[in-house]
Structure formats: structure tokens, C-alpha cells
Amino acid sequence: MRWKYIKYLIPNLLSFLRMLAVFPLWWAISQDDYSTAFWIYGIALLTDWLDGFLARKLKAVTDIGKLLDPLADKVLHLFVLYQFQAKYSELATQFIFILSFAVVLAALPGIATFFRVKRRLGANWFGKRKLCAEAAAIILLFLRQPQLAAWTLWAAIVLAIGSIIGHLVLKEGKDYRWWLRWLLRLHERKN
């Protein structure tokens, strides 16, 4: 009987542990121990894959998990990027964009509710690639390649824009113009 509840706890616990990884990461980066920071970050990235895999495998996908997983990703990446942009000034602009888009992406479910858009706002193709680009940039920063990381972060920013547009405009399947029908209905109500 307890397994019924534990299987829901495991994936969410992994997401929570990913957020807690920022504390040993802060220590390692502040000590310029990039080797240790790299391994901590690598383990944190592994939990990102593992929590989703276990949630699907155990049939333990929860609403809290759908919120906690992307929140953990954002906390981890924003924290590490904040640490590095303090060390490398050429990352400041990219960090501001990434932070801004993270706030917008976090607010999208509320925006969708406000406009009564009834659709699933899970991860999309652009968002998954954005996460990969951010991870690649962070790995490049651990390897002390800030110029290359800066360009990789620009790619992450473009993918973040694509993710936001995808959430607002594109829909799964062939029906990708829900927004146009919504505008037409809004126009009809005014007339």
C-alpha cells in the first residue's frame, strides 16, 4: 500500500534535490573548483532525465511534478548562469534575456488561464532544445570557454523565444491556429 504513494514521491524528490544542488554548486564555483562544480552539475542534469523517466515508467506523473521539474531546471540553470555572469561580464546581457524569458515561461500557465486558453502547456520542442543549449553553455563555462558559451547562450535565447511562441501559437497536431479562431471569436463578441 505504501508503494502506491512512494512511487509519486521519488520523481518529485529528484526534482527537489536538483534545486538543492545549487548550494554545493555555489560553494564549488566560489572556490573556483570547476571540476567539482562540473560533477555536481552533471549529477543534477542526470536527475532531470531520471525524474521524467521514473515518472513515466512508474505511471506517477503528477501536476506538482509538471510544475516542479521545469522550476528545478530554471533554478539550477539561472543560479549557475548568475554565478558565471558575475565572473564573465560578456554574459550579462544573455543572462538578463534568459532570466526574463524564464519569468515569462513560468507565467505562461497563468496567462493561458487568464485568456481562457484550454490547452496543455508542457515542454515543447523549442523548450527542450533551449535547456540543452543552456546546459552546453554551462559546460563550456566549466571548461573556461566564456566566448563560446556566450554564443551558445544566444542560441538558447532564440530557442526560448521559439518556445514562448510555440506555447502561445502552435498546438499539437495540425491545428496550430487556435489563436486566430480566438481573435475571430473576440471580434464577433465586440460586434
> Over 69-138, what HEC string results?
HHHHHHHHHHHHHHHHHHHCHHHHHHHHHHHHHHHHHHHHHHHHHHCCCCCCCCCCHHHHHHHHHHHHHH
Instruction: Give the per-residue pLDDT at 105.
Output: 77
- Judge contact between 124 and 182, C-beta under 8 A: no
Instruction: Give the per-residue pLDDT at 155.
Output: 94
Rounded CA separation 165/14 (Å): 29
Rounded CA separation 11/142 (Å): 27
pLDDT tens sequence across 85-135 = 999 988 999 999 999 988 887 777 666 666 665 655 666 778 888 999 999
- Judge contact between 54 and 22, C-beta under 8 A: no
Torsion of CA 25, 65, 161, 177, to 10 degrees: 170
Rounded CA separation 31/33 (Å): 5
* Span 13-30, average pLDDT: 94
* Span 135-162, average pLDDT: 93
Q: What residue has cell string 525524474?
A: 51
- Sorted by sequence, the CB contacts under 8 Å of residue 87 that are 6+ apart come out as none
Rounded CA separation 62/55 (Å): 8
